[in-house]
Structure 1
């Protein structure tokens, strides 16, 4: 952390998120699901009992009758 122009504090290790990362982060926050790689999300969801947050929303589609 160091002082920038006009007394602003800058954090050189922070990088702005690209669009797909921001969209993924917003989805995770809104659905209350873990944020990270798919493997890490699955492990944390199992550990914390959040498996339902990883499934698609809504009722599953019915299969056509044969």
Structure 2
């Protein structure tokens, strides 16, 4: 589990204009965490790094 405030760095999308209406991503050693910037304590989605890379590659093709 990626713990907010832990050693992972949460990053906000560079496409976010105000920095509060997007998602944040943290790249952990064994998982990738995704959370909503408007509700950081509301939970997070965790996926395997291989699944994250596949999703990003698919989005880039769109």
Q: TM-score, normalised by structure 1?
A: 0.29
Higher helix share: 1
Bigger strand fraction = 2
Larger RCO: 1 or 2 (CA < 8 Å, sep 6+)? 2
Decide which structure has the larger Cα Rg and report it: 1
- When normalised by structure 2's length, the TM-score is 0.30
